[in-house]
A and B are shown apart, each in its own frame.
Chain A
Amino acid sequence: QSVLTQPPSASGTPGQRVTISCSGSSSNIGENTVNWYQVFPLTAPKLLLYSSDQRPSGVPDRFSGSKSGTSASLAISGLQSEDEGDYYCEAWDDSQSGLVFGGGTKLTVL
């Protein structure tokens, strides 16, 4: 079981807005920022959002993030077929003195 909890799956149709949640605790999300990664089959993870809501250069503004208390969320608006893949949240955990990942959410574009 992962320290950060994500729904195993999410889905939407093209053009829709989809959100993926990430639930943690006071030792991780409650005290630290959250990062999100996008993973496609046979490719390395890509940093999608950092510091909870910041987009690295090149990431479309369709992707946005937020954090409140011990939870965070990733929102994808204007869903596109190429968004289909796995999404992971990650944060520093003070009690473990290390990084923790969510279990991942498989996004399907219907």
Chain B
Amino acid sequence: EVQLVESGGGLVQPGRSLRLSCTTSGFTFADYGLTWVRRAPGRGLEWVSFIRSTDYGKTTGYAASVKGRFTISRDDSKSTVYLQMNSLKTEDTALYYCARAKSNLDYHFSYGMDVWGQGTTVTVSS
């Protein structure tokens, strides 16, 4: 069974850092792109970041709202993707989901994300 499990969320003060992890199982991790998507309280889904598969050079992308503050990375030996979040703002408060690209040949994530974790909650507050 394909599974994604997020961890690392919590309560943090504005300006501080947090690192989220998404541990996966049940598929060949290195072959797939992964994304982070968040949902702030009372708001809709917002794409945060992606990292492509090893075949695509593990290239990354970020939403404008987090660019320069967040860094996505992956450790194929641990089947885990990370989201390092620095200089956190109150508006980063959200439930953060990790999701897998449906196709292992999908450069633009055109086939969507077919497996999602249950999410980890990040609360940025003083």
Contact = CB atoms under 8 A, between A and B. Distances in A.
A95 to B, nearest CB: 11
A51 B110 contact: yes
A68 interface: no
Looking at A45, A46, A49, A100, the one whose CB has the most chain B CB atoms below 10 A away is: A45
Interface residues of A, number: 27
A37 B116 CA distance: 11
A12 B85 CA distance: 41
A49 B47 CA distance: 18
Contact of A104 (B44, B112, B114): B44
Nearest to B113: A47
B57 to A, nearest CB: 15
Interface string B99-122: 100100000111111101111000
Given A96-B64, A98-B62, A45 B44 contact: no
A98 B63 contact: yes
A98 B61 contact: yes
B46 interface: yes
B45 interface: yes
Contacts of B70: none
B78 to A, nearest CB: 22
B35 A44 contact: no
Nearest to A88: B45
A39 interface: yes
Contacts of A46: 116
Contacts of A69: none
Interface string B31-68: 00001010000001111001000000000011110000
A44 B97 contact: yes
Interface of B: 35, 37, 44-47, 50, 61-64, 97, 99, 102, 108-114, 116-119
